[in-house]
């Protein structure tokens, strides 16, 4: 049995605060830890997540960049930076950061999913489809990726493929309301009204 380092114990308590919605408290705690451990990339990544959670994306970007200056191969920080760029509407910068995350961690399903969303926003629907399909070879049970793939197929007018992907999403996550709604709309577009009603 391995024991956690004192720093890891403190990091876990900060993450718990953040996860419980106590973002201000998490930010205070991580700020104190940064004073004691100024070269720990993970602390700047957590700090960035806190600032993002508080609606301060510009400060979040600076924190993620600081994390990456310390540890350039930190896939999670690249992904978080990309998410923040996406929120700021800087889609090309987001794609670049997602690509960085994926070059470091090629099986990073969340980054592939997020990249697909940005590519779709950029109007690169075929490339978005490839991104979602890649995720699903890694994590076939990723309901959100099935949903996003279905939405993209629907935009491409590939309704049969969209219906199959919606079916997958709701089979994995039966309470996925948005997927059920879109699934019904796709069936309606196909003229399958009885199925759409269900």
CA distance readout (Å), 84 to 23, 88, 133 = 17, 6, 24
Is it the case that residue 5 has pLDDT exceeding 70? yes
Under 8 Å between Cβ of 186 and 198 = no
What band does 104 get if pLDDT is binned at 50, 70 and 90? very high
The model's pLDDT over 166-198, given as tens digits with 9 standing for 90+, comes to 999 999 999 999 988 888 888 888 888 777 666
107-198 CATH, one of 1.25.40.10, 1.10.3720.10, 3.40.50.300, 3.30.1490.20: 1.25.40.10
Assigned CATH for 1-106: 1.25.40.10
Is it the case that residue 50 has pLDDT exceeding 60? yes
Percent of the chain with pLDDT over 70: 96
pTM given for the model = 0.86
The model's pLDDT over 70-87, given as tens digits with 9 standing for 90+, comes to 999 999 999 999 999 999
CA distance readout (Å), 30 to 19, 53, 77, 116 = 14, 14, 16, 31
Neighbours of 33 (CB within 10 A): 20
CA distance 193 to 182: 13
């Amino acid at each position: 049995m391995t024991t956690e380092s004192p720093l890891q114990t403190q990091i876990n308590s900060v993450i718990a605060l953040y996860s419980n919605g106590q973002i201000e408290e998490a930010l205070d705690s991580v700020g104190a830890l940064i004073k004691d451990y100024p070269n720990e990339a993970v602390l700047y990544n957590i700090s960035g997540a806190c600032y993002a959670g508080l609606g301060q994306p510009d400060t979040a970007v600076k924190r993620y960049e600081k994390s990456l200056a310390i540890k350039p191969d930190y896939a999670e920080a690249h992904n978080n930076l990309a998410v923040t760029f996406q929120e700021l509407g800087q889609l090309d910068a987001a794609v670049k950061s997602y690509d960085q995350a994926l070059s470091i961690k090629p099986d990073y399903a969340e980054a592939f999913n997020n990249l697909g969303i940005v590519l779709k926003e950029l109007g690169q629907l075929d490339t978005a489809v490839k991104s979602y399909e890649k995720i699903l070879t890694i994590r076939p049970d990723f309901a959100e990726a099935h949903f996003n793939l279905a939405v993209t197929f629907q935009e491409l007018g590939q309704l049969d493929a969209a219906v199959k992907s919606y079916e997958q999403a709701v089979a994995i996550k039966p309470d996925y309301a948005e997927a059920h709604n879109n699934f019904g709309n796709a069936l309606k577009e196909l003229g399958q009204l009885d199925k759409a009603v269900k």
